[in-house]
Amino acid sequence: MSRRLAAVILAGGEGTRMRSRLPKVLHRLLGLPMIHYVVEAVTSLAPEKAVVVVGRKSGKAIREVLSGVDGLAFAVQRRPLGTGNALKTGLSALKGFRGDLIVLNGDTPLIRPETLRKLLSRHRRGKNALTICSFTTTEPGGYGRIIRDRSGKAVAIREERDLSREEKSIDEVNSGIYLLNETVFPLLGKIRKNPAKGEYYVTDLFGIVLRSGLRAGVLKMDDDEEFSGINTKNDLLRVQSILRQRIVRGWVERDVFFIDEERVYIQPSVRIGPGTTIYPNVFMEGITVIGEDCMIFPNVRIRDSWIGDNVVVKDSSVIEDAEVHDNVEAGPFARIRPGSILMESARIGNFVEIKKSVIGVGTKAQHLSYIGDAEIGRDVNIGAGTITCNYDGVKKHRTVIEDGVFIGSDSQLVAPVRIGKGAYVGAGSTITRDVRPESLALTRSRQKEIRGWTREKSKKAGRKKRKSGS
Ligand code: UD1
Ligand code: CA
C-alpha cells in the first residue's frame, strides 16, 4: 500500500526584511504571487491535504490569492513565533494524520515539482523519520548551516546568528524543505525558544530527532538556484530574473524563437507551439495557448487566450480572453477584448477594437473600427471607421452581419440590427433598421453641387469692396 502524503507550507512570517506593507509571499514574480509557485509545486505531488500557515494580519490576503486552488487548507499562526511554531500550527490542521509530511517555506518559489518528487522518494527509501534537504552555495549568508561531525555525519542545523566564526564559512545550507513522518510530530513540542531571536526554530528538530533515537538524514542537492529563498527585495529581483530565464530557455528548447530572449515575459501557465517567433517586449499571461508557426511582434500582450497556428499578431496589440483561429492577422494596434472569436484567416487591422464578437472566416476589418456584441459571418468587408452602436445608454444590443456583406467606410450600425447576406451598406450610412439580403442600404443625404459657386462668391466680394470705396 502506498504511504499517505500531506503538506504544510510556512507563510506566516512577517517578512520584515522585505520592508514592504505587502506580505512577503504575495510579492509578485512575473505577475504571480510568490506563494502561487510554491503551492503549485506542492499540489503537483497530489497530497491528500495541503495546509498553508498564514499570519494573523496577512492571512486574509493570502487566502484570497489562493482561492482558486482546490483542496487547500489554511491555519492561522496567531503570532510569528518562528518556523517551529508555524509547523506546529500547520499540524493542528492535520489532526490524526499518519504518513509522510512535506514541509516547505513559502518563500522559495523556484522549487520544481520533479525535485520535490525526487526528495520524497529518497526520503521514503532512506526510511528516515526526518529528512532535511540541503544544498551548497557560494553565498551561504542568511541560511541555516548544516553542521557535520568529523566523520561527515550531519548532527545539527545552526542559524546564522548562532554560528561561530569558523561555522560561518560552511557552504552547505538548509533549503527549508523537510520530510517527516508521524513519529516526529510529538517531538515538535520539544523545540525550545531560541534565546538570541526569541523564536522557535523548526531546524532544531533535527537534533531533537537524533537525540530521541529516530533516524534523521540530510539530502544534499546540487542545484543551488532552485532553493533560493527570498528575504529581501534584492532576492526577489534576482529570483524573478532566474524564473523568467528558466521559462524562456524551456521554450527555446521546444523550438520557439526569440528575437531577444532577455526581454520577454511569459508566465509559467502559458504554452507555445514550435516554430513560433516572439519579438521583444511581449507579455504572455494566464492560461494562454499559442499555436505553431505564429509571429508575435513587439509590445504585444496576450492574456488568457487561445491562439491557433500561423497567426500573426502585429506590433502593440492586446488580446484578452479571446480565441484567435489559424491564419488570422491582427494588428498593429489591435485590441481584442474578452469574448471575441476571430475565425480562420480573419484580418483585423490597425486601431480596431473587437469586444464579445465573432468575426467570421476570411472577414476583414482593417482600419479604425469598433465592433462590439456582433456576430459577423464569413468574407465580410468592414470599411474603415465602422462602428457598431451596441449601447443605448441602458442596455447592450447585438449586431448581426451575414456572410459576404460589404459595409462602406464610416458607417454606424445601430443595434439591434441585422444586415442580410450579401447586402451593401453605402459609406457614411447610419443604419437603424434591418437590411434585406442582397440590398443596398444608404442613409446619407444626396450630394448637392452648385456650379461656379466660388467664382460667384469672389465677384460679389469685389463689388462690395468697390462700393465702400476702400
Ligand atoms: C529559514 C531556516 C533556514 C533555512 C532558510 C531557507 C529557520 C529557523 N531557518 O530561514 O535554516 O536555511 O529558511 O530559506 O527555519 N514563517 C512562519 N512563521 C514564523 C516565521 C516564519 O510561517 O513565525 C515562514 C515565513 O513566512 C517563510 C518561512 O517560514 O515563508 C521561512 O521563514 P524565514 O524567516 O524566511 O526564514 P529564514 O531566515 O529564511
Ligand atoms: Ca527565507
Predicted local confidence at residue 426, as pLDDT: 97
The SS3 of residue 193 is strand
Q: Which ligand 1 atom is at minimum distance from the Cα of 81?
A: 23
Q: What's the CA gap between 294 and 272, in Å, rounded? A: 9
Q: Which ligand is nearest to the CA of 142?
A: 1
β-pair partners for 32 = 29
Q: What's the CA gap between 175 and 220, in Å, rounded? A: 10
Mean pLDDT score, 375-389: 98
Mean pLDDT score, 52-60: 96
How does pLDDT run across 183-193, given as a tens digit for each residue?
A: 999 999 999 99
Mean pLDDT score, 270-277: 98
Cell representation of residue 276:
513560433
Cα of 83 to ligand 1 centre, how many Å? 6
Q: Which ligand 1 atom is at minimum distance from the Cα of 157?
A: 11
Predicted local confidence at residue 470, as pLDDT: 59
Q: Which ligand 1 atom is at minimum distance from the Cα of 159?
A: 11
Whether cis (ω within 30° of 0) applies to the bond prior to 332 is yes
User: If we measure between CA atoms, which residue out of 293, 265, 263, 259 comes closest to residue 278?
Assistant: 259
Cα of 229 to ligand 2 centre, how many Å? 5
Predicted local confidence at residue 360, as pLDDT: 98
Q: Which ligand 1 atom is at minimum distance from the Cα of 24?
A: 26
Delineate the domains of the chain, giving CATH numbers in brackets: 5-227 (3.90.550.10), 360-470 (2.160.10.10)
Residue 465's pLDDT band, with cuts at 50, 70 and 90, is confident
Average pLDDT for the chain: 96
Tell me if residue 36 is catalytic.
no
Residue 451's pLDDT band, with cuts at 50, 70 and 90, is very high
Cβ atoms < 10 Å from Cβ of 315: 16
User: If we measure between CA atoms, which residue out of 332, 337, 336 comes closest to residue 350?
Assistant: 332
Cell representation of residue 372:
462590439
Cα of 159 to ligand 2 centre, how many Å? 12
| 249: pLDDT strictly greater than 80 | yes
| 1: pLDDT strictly greater than 60 | no
Mean pLDDT score, 341-345: 98
Instruction: Decide: 202 in ligand 1 pocket, CB within 6 A.
Output: yes
Instruction: Decide: 106 in ligand 1 pocket, CB within 6 A.
Output: yes
Predicted local confidence at residue 224, as pLDDT: 78
Name the phi and psi angles at 462, rounded to 5.
-65, -45
Q: Which ligand is nearest to the CA of 83?
A: 1
Alpha carbon nearest to ligand 1 atom 29, residue: 10
Mean pLDDT score, 400-425: 98
Mean pLDDT score, 164-181: 96
Mean pLDDT score, 316-324: 98
Q: To test ligand 1's pocket by mutation, which of 83, 139, 168 has the most ligand atoms within 8 angstroms of CB?
A: 83
Mean pLDDT score, 70-85: 96
β-pair partners for 56 = none
Residue 322's pLDDT band, with cuts at 50, 70 and 90, is very high
| 353: pLDDT strictly greater than 80 | yes
Mean pLDDT score, 408-430: 98
Q: To test ligand 1's pocket by mutation, which of 37, 105, 204, 205 has the most ligand atoms within 8 angstroms of CB?
A: 105
Residue 111's pLDDT band, with cuts at 50, 70 and 90, is very high
Instruction: Decide: 81 in ligand 1 pocket, CB within 6 A.
Output: yes
Mean pLDDT score, 243-265: 98
Alpha carbon nearest to ligand 1 atom 3, residue: 144
Q: Are strands 130-136 and 172-181 parallel, antiparallel or unpaired?
A: antiparallel
| 383: pLDDT strictly greater than 90 | yes
Residue 396's pLDDT band, with cuts at 50, 70 and 90, is very high
The SS3 of residue 387 is strand
Using a 10 angstrom Cβ sphere, with 0-12 exposed, 13-18 middle and 19 or more buried, the burial of residue 156 is middle
Instruction: Decide: 23 in ligand 1 pocket, CB within 6 A.
Output: no
Which is the catalytic residue, given 27, 123, 325, 367?
Answer: 367
Q: What Å distances lie between residue 149 and 144, 154, 157, 266, 438, CA to CA?
A: 16, 6, 12, 45, 91
Q: Are 202 and 87 in contact (CB under 8 A)?
A: yes
How does pLDDT run across 25-51, given as a tens digit for each residue?
A: 999 999 999 999 999 999 999 999 999
How does pLDDT run across 88-105, given as a tens digit for each residue?
A: 999 999 999 999 999 999
Q: What is the maximal distance between C-alpha atoms in the chain?
A: 123
